[in-house]
Amino acid sequence: MRVQVLIAAVLGWLSCAAATSNNLTDLVTWDKYSLTVNGTRVYISSAEFHYQRLPVPELWLDVFHKLRANGFNTISVYFFWSYHSPSKGVYDFQTPGKNIQQLFDYAKEAGLWVIARAGPYCNAETSGGGLALWGSDGSLGNLRTGDETYHQAWLPWVTKVGKIIADNQITKGGPVILNQVENEYQETVYSPTNTAVIYMEQLESAFRDAGVVVPLTHNEKGMRSMSWSTDYKDVGGAVDVYALDSYPGGLSCTNVNTGFNVVRTYYQWFSNYSFTQPSFLAEFEGGWFSAWGDKTFYDDCLTEHDPSFADVYYKNNIGQRVTLLNIYMAFGGTNWGHSAAPVVYTSYDYSAPLRETRQQWSKLFQTKLVNMFATSSPELLTTYMVGNGTGFRVSDPAIFSWVLKNPTSGTTFTVLQQAKTPSTANVSASVTLDTSAGMVTVSDVSLYGRQSKILVTDYTFGSHKLLYATADILTNGVFDSDVLVFYLKAGQAGELALTDEQDLTYTATGSSKVTSSKNGTTQVFKWTQSTGTTAVKLSNGVVLYLLEQQTAWRFWAPATTADPYAGAAQKLFVIGPYLVRSASVSHQVLHISGDSDTSTTLEAYVGSSPIETIVWNGIRLPAAKTPYGSYTAAIPGAESRTISLPSLDRWYSADSLPEADPSYDDSRWTICNKTTTKSPIAPLTLPVLFSSDYGYYVGAKLYRGYFDSSSSTSNFTSVNLTASGGLAFGWSAWLNGAHIGSHPGAASLTTTTLQLTFPPTVPLRKTGNVLTVLVDYHGHDETSTAKGVENPRGLLGAVLLPGDGSGTPPTSTGFTQWKIQGNAGGGAGYIDPVRGPLNEGGLHAERLGWFLPGFDPSTSPAFSSPSESNSPLTGLNKAGVRFYTTTFHLNIDSDLDAPLGVELSAPAGTVARVMIWVNGYQYGKYVPHIGPQTRFPVPPGVVNNRGSNTLALSLWAQDDGGARLDGVRLFSYGAYQSDFGFNRDWSGLQPQWEDRSRYA
């Protein structure tokens, strides 16, 4: 492929681009090159973060520290309507986890801008796509259209959340710089009267009426349509700044040779459809989600772990003039409670750069290298495409290049990648570079397998200019001297020259051998990269850091300002630790806050300020000065620390399905008596049994159906049941206390039907027979499934059949009454605002709050005392549900971050459904016969690192033979010495048990 830019096009790019505003604010403007914030052109390096998926607000700041340290200057945030509105007219923006003012405050504190994405529809693999679940009864109207019923449903949400967003805009000193309208909403009919256009205009007006003045944006759903751009068929509804979503990897967890083909048409796409606007990828692949029944879990998906993805794909975006890039997900988090859409399970790790456990890994570190380069290279922000193609200005057609040029400074950026990006072969070539000294051909430029490089010319750093370089630039800084940081893989050759500077002497410290020679009048420095760090001090004062790539992964540039876009003179350089959160110099002391996994040597470059002491996380350490002006100290790690975790072998247990007993008192249950529904899906039988029609939205639902068998016309021998609970859900049925069958669920099935035969061992009564049905719940559908959140859950139909069940269906269902029970209080009850509306379901143990801290099972007659027979490792010997609870104490060192998890296992062939609660938070769903998840991370704040904890399990056996687990254990993912403070009083996040007997 080769695209040469025509002369006329070049002249167009050379023309000065006038900044565009929305006439509401000039603090955020744009043109065809980039966004401008507070008068400065910026490269937006954004990280997708969903606060709902981390219910400990204090840890939001921990995540933000890590994102900022790894070169992100912005977070993109969904605000899920479902999380804040448990019932119609009720909105919660105050309780922990839902106080979004705290989110904005933490973002500002960490030095991050915010792209707000409040929907009302978000998708995001969250239940119902984030739409209010109280509307799952059909009352929302015609979803995502200009339908007035839908308009009136979402308008209060946008009004309320829009006001909070507006109060936190950059115009009011806050961090919000962009506001997204809707999500991946395709425009297919270009008419001002089309319902989609009307809907978009309604939304835009609502956000403006709420006070939002920053530019509005929208994300195109891949290259599937052309939507809402002012540059393409604008008939109404267009946003200020167009954006595109793209997930191009096509990777396979089981085959490393699958996928890894980059997309090379972004440049053309933006040139066609948003040519007056900057190129904005609003969602770009940071990983991918894993579904129920997948063969591998995130921990085992090696292809998604590879830092080469970040290196090749993110640089490929730079090569196509993208100047706004949001990584989805940067931190995935957890679908705790019942917050997941059916397409995903508990973990939403997403193989993201920052793991669900909040741990950093090489994928994040390589992302950092790309981020730091892009955000510290202002000349990158006004470029045009010189050309691109296989072998373009490269001697080997095995290499593809993108060549960009800044028309003002003459700076060029040559992005190199394999012509066939899946290739793992090593290739080397000569590259011709366009410099102010003329065309220069450099040799021995290599790519090791899946690698990309960005070669620059006429690149300004401080008061100096780089004529060219064949190593990647990480960043640059202005201290008493100008400092330029490069990185290469070990064994690769590097070459550079400065502009108009000759006869420089130098001193090199480190293992890479550096040489100097003349090419005409140009002084050229060459080296072969060795492991570790090599520093070169030039006689003109310039310091060059030559880092091996893995050493560069531990390079940090903490800002000395809260401004998200710190300049070259507003940062310090630190090498060595696992994480640097902040750094500052005062009174000859360098203070550094960070995290350390292993003991190492910390090196810091701070300029001319003399340093006598380095204070690492409060520990005073003597500083030693290097020949090139940096300072070093030995910092402690956590490799020798002991994380002592107790065994879990003292369990109380109780039956959690007394509702199967026909004598169970259900007099306070909700009677299913509706004969009509607002749902777009018709019930299979009457009365309507859809759970949402009776105010029960999330979690397991219990039904009790009554019928008589007193005559020849009611000689029932079987029952036909249809249930819906989302992909991989299951259900079970009991007749007069006896299990008559279960559907175990399947990863591909949202709705299932069974005809269950009444066994002869269960004689029917003349009156008062009770059919108890327990239906699991795996979330409400996104709109990618027809009708979306309005697809009903629970029982869709139930009919009793006489004889052998093969004849004509009866005209009556045979049931005299149905009752339903769900989570305690239903959606309207909202009895635990702290844990929110998505945490609990309708199991007996849940309704009574047995999973909550402070509940004492020893005082409850329902519980058996701890013994081997009451352990989940013994389990049940028949189909049913049993509940287990235990307590454990932790005493983890207060200066450690030790991410913990719960691991479950079961014998092969076990058909069961398990939920895990930690201090009242439902933090895991384990379905061993479907999988794949067996390890469940639990963050501090949900678990108490120092103190008492409550762990509870529900074990739902779906086979007549029962079910048991063969392993329940706590484990640690790692340990990091830190001063962040993970040992806190978390009691405000862990409301205690109160009597709930009224919900039985």
- The helix/strand/coil state of 61 is helix
Question: Which of these is catalytic: 58, 184, 495, 548?
Answer: 184
CATH H-level, domain 379-635: superfamily = Beta-galactosidase, domain 2 (2.102.20.10)
CB-CB contact of 571 with 476 (8 Å) = no
Q: Measuring CA to CA, which residue among 517, 532, 442 is closest to residue 487?
A: 532
Q: Give φ, ψ of 307 to 5 degrees.
A: -65, -15
pLDDT at 806: 65
pLDDT at 4: 34
How far is 622 from 304, CA to CA, in rounded Å? 41
What is the DSSP secondary structure assignment for residue 669, as one 8-state letter? S
Record: fold of 20-360: TIM Barrel (3.20.20)
Angle, CA of 18, 20 and 23, to the nearest 5°? 135
Q: Measuring CA to CA, which residue among 94, 60, 104, 98 is closest to residue 81?
A: 98
Which residue pairs from 582-590 have beta carbons closer than 8 angstroms and sit at least 24 positions apart in sequence? 582/65, 582/558, 583/556, 583/558, 584/560, 585/609, 585/611, 588/612, 588/613, 589/613, 589/614, 589/615, 590/614, 590/615, 590/623, 590/631
H-helix or E-strand spanning residue 764: none
Q: Identify any residues that bridge with 653 across adjacent strands, giving them in sequence order.
A: 864, 884
Give catalytic status of residue 304 as yes or no: no
Task: State the CATH class of domain 674-822.
Answer: mainly beta
Helix pair 148-167, 195-209: axis angle to 10 deg: 30
How far is 278 from 268, CA to CA, in rounded Å? 13
pLDDT at 669: 98
- Locate tokens 């079970």: which residue? 732
- The helix/strand/coil state of 402 is strand
Q: What are the pLDDT digits (tens) for 387-419?
A: 999 999 999 999 999 999 999 999 999 999 999
How far is 231 from 238, CA to CA, in rounded Å? 9
Structure tokens at 133: 């679940």
Structure tokens at 20: 């565009």
The domain segmentation of the chain, as residue ranges, is 20-360, 379-635, 674-822, 831-999
360-372: b or e for each residue (b if 16 or more CB lie within 10 Å)? bbbbbbbbbbbbb
pLDDT at 16: 41
Q: For residue 662, say if its preceding peptide bond is cis, omega within 30 degrees of 0.
A: no
CB-CB contact of 999 with 848 (8 Å) = yes
Q: Measuring CA to CA, which residue among 921, 915, 839, 792 is closest to residue 338?
A: 839
397-433: b or e for each residue (b if 16 or more CB lie within 10 Å)? ebbbbbbbbbeebebbbbbbbbbebbeeeebbbebeb
H-helix or E-strand spanning residue 60: helix 57-69
pLDDT at 168: 98
CB-CB contact of 313 with 285 (8 Å) = yes
Give catalytic status of residue 182 as yes or no: no
pLDDT at 713: 64
- Residue 446 CB-half CA count within 13 A: 16
Q: Give φ, ψ of 44 to 5 degrees.
A: -90, 110
pLDDT at 302: 86
624-649: b or e for each residue (b if 16 or more CB lie within 10 Å)? eeeebbbbbbebbbbeeeebeeeebe
Taking the chain (1000 residues) in runs of 10, the rounded mean pLDDT of each run is: 36 54 98 98 98 98 98 98 98 98 98 98 98 98 98 98 98 98 98 98 98 98 97 98 96 92 98 98 98 96 93 98 98 98 98 98 98 98 98 97 98 98 98 98 98 98 98 98 98 98 97 96 97 98 98 98 97 98 97 98 96 98 97 98 96 98 97 98 98 98 96 85 98 98 98 97 95 98 97 98 72 94 96 98 98 98 93 98 98 98 98 98 98 98 98 98 98 98 97 96
How far is 458 from 435, CA to CA, in rounded Å? 6
Structure tokens at 513: 């051998």
Give the residue ranges of DSSP H helices in 7-56. Answer: 7-14
pLDDT at 714: 78
Task: State the CATH class of domain 831-999.
Answer: mainly beta
- Locate tokens 């053309």: which residue? 268
Query: What is the total residue count of the chain?
Result: 1000
Domain 831-999 in the same topology as domain 674-822: yes
How far is 164 from 169, CA to CA, in rounded Å? 9
How far is 12 from 754, CA to CA, in rounded Å? 66
| Cα distances (Å, whole numbers) of residue 204 to 124, 180, 191, 422, 437 | 21, 9, 17, 42, 51
Question: Which of these is catalytic: 283, 304, 356, 379?
Answer: 283
pLDDT at 11: 33
